[in-house]
Structure 1
Amino acid sequence: MSQTWSPTSWKNFPAAQQPLYPDSGQLSAVVKQIKTLPPLVTSWEIDRLHQDIALAQRGQAWLLQGGDCAETFEQCQTEPIASKLKLLLQMSLAIVFGARKRIIRVGRMAGQYAKPRSSDTESQGGVTLPCYRGDIVNGYSFTPEARIPDPLRLLRGYERSALTLNFVRALSEGGFADLHHPENWNLLFVNTAKGEAAERYKELVRSLGDSIRFMETILHESTPELKRVDFYTSHEALHLDYETALTRESVRGIGFYNMGTHFPWIGERTRQLGGAHLEYFRGIRNPVAVKIGGSIQPEELIEMIDKLNPENKPGRLTLIHRMGRNKIESQLPPLIDAVLREQKTVLWVCDPMHGNTVSTAGGRKTRRFDDIVDELRLSFAIHRACGSTLGGAHLELTGEDVTECVGGSRGLTESDLESAYQTQLDPRLNYEQALEIAFEISNQLSQQRF
């Protein structure tokens, strides 16, 4: 790689998964317009997350990252956004009781509008069209008009990201996240839930209320730190023209930040050592993450770490492993051993979702809850055996009452999927399944304390 970096130096490298626009002039005009618009996040917020991730690398915090596989413009509405935030707050509350450490809450939201695809085209009924690459690129409807990449969608993506982030900030900082009133986080359709995870959560809330009242009685005052939370956003920084348009130099003169999100990541399909995404990421000051699957070799991983974090700075780099339940025991240990041997500072995070996607007999994509839980448990065990520490989980989930993953306490089967299968791409955990995962994480972390 060239030692000279700029926000556009990636253009000198092969760029995977980029849409082909029929009008390059219109694309340039839209990108130019986005460059004049206000940033979505600030460098101070990004630096605070950088410090939080450094804490997690030292075992003093746990990173919980979750949200939709892909956001849609249509779902930029009050209830879906609030539901995701409610669920992440509930999950973090469940985890903190086991972890006894700070929880870093990161949403896959306010920008998760682009998706990588395994094929450039899609065929239905003998008709072949360009694939759907997320709402920020083209439309989901299987028509020639909808599938044409449209640069104006970049503006719509920016606007909806801004709306989402503004609402999330208002909720997380304006009293909605107040630990004195966790009942505000209840999702409408689970107010009368009787499942094991729901009952366990209700008992936890009662215990929390008693603890807070006791503490504040002793102190003779309320605790303002319990009335708000830090909440960060993340997305796969896939569309490089869009990400470049939101890359700005800090007013403090300390370098360039991607100010379209706090925490961008590189996906498994775009992490090539000589690729454009790695070149772009190496120059921004955000904490960054990389998804790694079983195909990466230890030597390749170390070279990638050196390119993204040559000074081995704490808080800079997160590795999100996504191996699959059947492969993680053979594929993950050599990578952990290489990182430890080379004394690289990284945060290890488990994504137990993406390596466990299967198709039903009818062609519907799903994930088996038992596979997800097993990969999570194995991740904890493998890190412990290698002398490493798992520091977070990356999950695709929703606060809506969906049936997309089979299994869990409700015992969803393949025949149940059609009742509320809403995702346009990958299947997500529903409320009950997500809470079960949170309690499993809590159990694992509580064992680490002894």
Structure 2
Amino acid sequence: MSNTRLLIPSRAVQQPDWTRWDDLDRVLAELSGRPALVSEETTAALREELAFVARGTAFVVQAGDCAELFSDSTPERIRAKATALHTLGDLFESLTKIPVVRIGRFAGQYAKPRSNPWEQLPDGSRVPVYRGDAVNGAEPTAAARQPDPHRLLRAYELTRQALAELRTPRPTAGTVTSVLAPTYISHEALLLEYEHALLRSDTHGGRYASSAPFLWIGERTRQPDHAHIDLAAAISNPVGVKVGPDASAADVTALLDRLNPAARPGRLTLIVRMGAQRIGTALPALLDGLGPRAAEAIWMTDPMHGNTRTTAAGQKSRVLTDVLAEVQTFFTVMRAHGLHAGGLHLESAPDDVTECVASPADLDDETPLPRYESACDPRLNPAQAEEVVRLAASLAVAPAT
């Protein structure tokens, strides 16, 4: 058994049942010896940029895939995703004159937590749930859904290629060239074996996660005494934590104590995902309970994950009016508490997909949404994402009342 796997504490949720443990050990040993994907300098640069967000003088636009597919990670597709991200960031900057930190939810977003370990098929049989391309295949067959440790090597290689693409100058419509940078990549730090294998020593005697400069911990894995928070506490990267409507002030205080005990600006981001129906009561109660300690973190809104619905055709979707309503309430509540609304965290596609609908009435249509390409949750198309950014920009510069 590899030392890497022994590093993982027992209290770890949402982990695959790899079954092929010898293969996993060999894969982890190989990953441990491979070059870092991102440098310590890159993580430090992002932390410095996020410190401006923490002080209220910058804004984050974080956008990209729900569950990134290996097949959708070619250099051309990475360039398209980064261009879409920069388009949103440029739009916000042009409307507000506020600097934007651009963080891609791609080039590593290959794993997803799931609410059920099994998927029921139409014939009554069941297969293990799809957990992202880093773990298994999306095809609903027993063979495809078998967790395969070798997929971790593919995730590493595709991230390496994506980072190389993001650093490469490309021609623009004019006569000059541009680099899709600074484009910071990010993903949910879900697969503990993978993240531990890619930990590297930093110049301060500690460790940093070399898989991406920014990692976040999901709502399902944010227990303060569990393994995912142990990982986040042990690294020098800036980190995020998703915060749902049932989070208490005690829960968040424990996260502040563990992840940012020195209250360093830019170290910790709390990503609120409460849903349009609950954020108006849940977020004020949380901020009231935290009092002055709420200022120890950046606060962002994820208006996607609390607003998932199902169409009459049985597809998961999100209603744009719900997304906009959550953004509106987030800004209103933050301003009322004297806090900076620090950013947007969106699931969005660079293509004209039809995964999110415009209004609740659209959910009643029994015709399947025609261009539904997400491997898991519905994403905004460029026009919808632009509408969200335009609203956020108007709220960011609205005069205080």
Partner in structure 2 of residue 264 of structure 1: 215
Provide closer, same or farther for how the CA distance between residues 417 and 370 of structure 1 changes in structure 2, counting only shifts above 3 A. Answer: farther
Question: Which AA in structure 2 matches 1:135?
Answer: D
Give the conservation status (yes or no) of the 8 Å contact 1:70–1:134. yes
- Tell me, in whole angstroms, the C-alpha distance in 2 between the residues paired with 1:306 and 1:400: 41
After superposition, residues 393-408 of structure 1 pair within 5 angstroms as 393-407=344-358
Partner in structure 1 of residue 251 of structure 2: 300
Partner in structure 2 of residue 144 of structure 1: 142
Q: Which has the higher helix share?
A: 1
Tell me, yes or no, if structure 1 residue 231 matches structure 2 residue 183.
Answer: yes
- Tell me, in whole angstroms, the C-alpha distance in 2 between the residues paired with 1:54 and 1:310: 16
Q: Give the drift of 1:165.
A: 1.6
Give the conservation status (yes or no) of the 8 Å contact 2:167–2:180. no
Partner in structure 1 of residue 154 of structure 2: 156
Segment of structure 1 superposing worse, 399-408 or 286-295: 399-408
Cα deviation digits, residues 124-163 of structure 1 (max 9, x gap): 0111111110000011111111111111000011111111
- Tell me, in whole angstroms, the C-alpha distance in 1 between the residues paired with 2:306 and 2:23: 38
Residue 255 of structure 1, aligned match among 203, 206, 214: 206
Cα deviation digits, residues 190-219 of structure 1 (max 9, x gap): xxxxxxxxxxxxxxxxxxxxxxxxxxxxxx
Tell me, yes or no, if structure 1 residue 284 matches structure 2 residue 284.
Answer: no
Residue 195 of structure 2, aligned match among 239, 243, 249: 243
Residue 21 of structure 1, aligned match among 18, 24, 33: 18
Question: Which AA in structure 1 matches 2:319?
Answer: R
Cα deviation digits, residues 324-365 of structure 1 (max 9, x gap): 000001100122223333364110000000000000122100
- Tell me, in whole angstroms, the C-alpha distance in 1 between the residues paired with 2:138 and 2:258: 36
- Tell me, in whole angstroms, the C-alpha distance in 1 between the residues paired with 2:251 and 2:324: 28
- Root mean square deviation, CA, Å: 2.3
Q: Specify the SS of the correspondent of 1:349.
A: strand
- Tell me, in whole angstroms, the C-alpha distance in 1 between the residues paired with 2:294 and 2:381: 38
Give the conservation status (yes or no) of the 8 Å contact 2:242–2:273. yes
Question: Which AA in structure 2 matches 1:374?
Answer: A
Give the conservation status (yes or no) of the 8 Å contact 2:313–2:367. no
- Tell me, in whole angstroms, the C-alpha distance in 1 between the residues paired with 2:399 and 2:250: 30
Give the conservation status (yes or no) of the 8 Å contact 2:111–2:135. yes
Q: Specify the SS of the correspondent of 2:296.
A: coil
Q: Which runs of 4+ in 1 moved over 4 A?
A: 6-10, 411-417
Partner in structure 2 of residue 135 of structure 1: 133
Give the conservation status (yes or no) of the 8 Å contact 1:9–1:279. no
- Tell me, in whole angstroms, the C-alpha distance in 2 between the residues paired with 1:146 and 1:334: 44
Question: Which AA in structure 1 matches 2:185?
Answer: T
Unaligned runs of 5+ in 2: none
Q: Give the drift of 1:111.
A: 0.7
After superposition, residues 43-54 of structure 1 pair within 5 angstroms as 43-54=40-51
- Tell me, in whole angstroms, the C-alpha distance in 2 between the residues paired with 1:92 and 1:228: 12
Unaligned runs of 5+ in 1: 1-5, 185-221
Q: Give the drift of 1:175.
A: 5.6
After superposition, residues 33-44 of structure 1 pair within 5 angstroms as 33-44=30-41
- Tell me, in whole angstroms, the C-alpha distance in 2 between the residues paired with 1:8 and 1:99: 47
Q: Give the drift of 1:71.
A: 0.6
The number of residue pairs the alignment matches comes to: 395
Kindly, what percent of the aligned residue pairs are identical? 38
- Normalising to structure 1: TM-score of the pair? 0.83
Give the conservation status (yes or no) of the 8 Å contact 2:75–2:161. no
Q: Give the drift of 1:169.
A: 2.1
Cα deviation digits, residues 228-250 of structure 1 (max 9, x gap): 74110000010000000111002
Q: Specify the SS of the correspondent of 2:349.
A: coil
Higher RCO structure (Cα 8 Å, ≥6 apart): 1
